[in-house]
Structure 1
């Protein structure tokens, strides 16, 4: 196969024209200026768009810090993975060990030797931030907390968390236990994306176990910011921390605030969310497995092949007037059968005001088998004279 790349710069094709003209004309460009991102007193913070992963504001977002109970997001992620893989079940009855039942800090108030379901323990972790529930789940999944921490670190590598290391499931302070604000945002994004069936628990306002009712510590769930998760944290070393997610229309944001005050963290997270929704808009440009263009296939049992992207493509752009969005398709010049479904056959680059903001592979949307002898010979002759 000749792998010369043929520039198929798509300015306004039948598909692209609708999208690009629609973007330029829509409320995506409603204002004429772009203010600076908020400057907060918190030690570390970051604001990202859930769909596009675009960073809208940040400060010291890669610094390694004590994550406190925000650690429990990774604890929950590992438990969700164990549930979905069939390793454990939400109805499993977990016997509470001496270590779990007597652990200090925030508690679910489970008793040593009692049996508690995985579902109840998850509520104890997510809503009540129970250290005892976290350790009980860690022991149920991995046998002991040390092995569970190894699972947490392996998952951190898989998710691309570059400034994270875990030594426990609770977030109790340890010099070797840390995360960055950026890693917390990435983990939160992965949790919402990979386990949406479990995410509703993060919006529960309270949970009662053993006749003890405890409210969710995320007070933004009661404010009118469309917040539906995720987690708060506090240790003397970490200060007061919070990671929240909210959704307005089709746009979801994730804000992380570390090293702030008890109430100040919520005010600062709210300020980040207001900034993101007021001055940015996220749009879905292309859907996965949708044909963006068709190309000629030589020597196959079909002559035309649809190409698309393997995953939805979103862009987050300012709500300000600009030169708009352009897309460039780069497709292999000679495409010869057989072609497998999902085979990479080019790339797509999306630019905004002359700067590339998103890139993706172009893949075949279906398989094309090699044609019969006559099809191959006739195509060879036609191709020779083109």
Structure 2
């Protein structure tokens, strides 16, 4: 008996903002091209094409009275309750985000103190040895936080870690850029604990890559596409969508396969592929190419559960929210049982990619 230490998810939680924003809510927007020229196509045509490309029909926006750390705290409280642990026993609180606590009336980045410190305060944790810090890593930030937690647990440095992904993309998106319809807000969280086991369980393997030399500028902060608004100097999230799509399709499937091989797992053993919900059609193409790497033409049904059609792209929050919804039986026709193997993957600003194989 070797009693190997594994990192196991014992609790999950999420926060979905109350405000629902449908595609028709963008009918009155003035959309512009990157060069500042107004798009003359009717907005209904723009929206219909957007839906066809992304599968997004609805998204959630945070209400004016809340910030990212508020959402993170709500999701964290759920996860701690779900894990049935004493919050004072947490060794780390890791919060993945990219834009901090941007208020509805002020777009200045607000990250002092860190969002993790704010979450710790909101949870009323008094233990000075619960170390709280933030992790900005693009959309793969939450998954990278889980990977860091695994290192802490495997090294013996920690036994209980709270990892949160929270983001408010609605407040840094340009209403005059068609890409603004992609973005959403939300938060998801997990508690990971050390578990000794003779049989592999929890996190089996993970891999991360950063292609910054060639692709660091595919997601960036830039001025509004509307000329009059650009002069004001405010910066908004911008994306080279076509190149990003191509990059993700070329690299993410192989990254997942490499991670599966690292854990000695074949794709046929995977019950669910939980991928960052960035673009419905892109994720479908990634999955098809992943199975193609194994010369499998017929993809199992429901292997990749999706929420993007009605929750949009909430960056670091998409995967933990998805996981929590499944575990709470709130995603129709999708269940996860003990012994199931999950493959996680994300891609985002950096450009960064990570993947993780997990056994329930």
TM-score by length of 2: 0.24
Higher relative contact order (CA 8 A, sep 6+): 2
TM-score by length of 1: 0.23
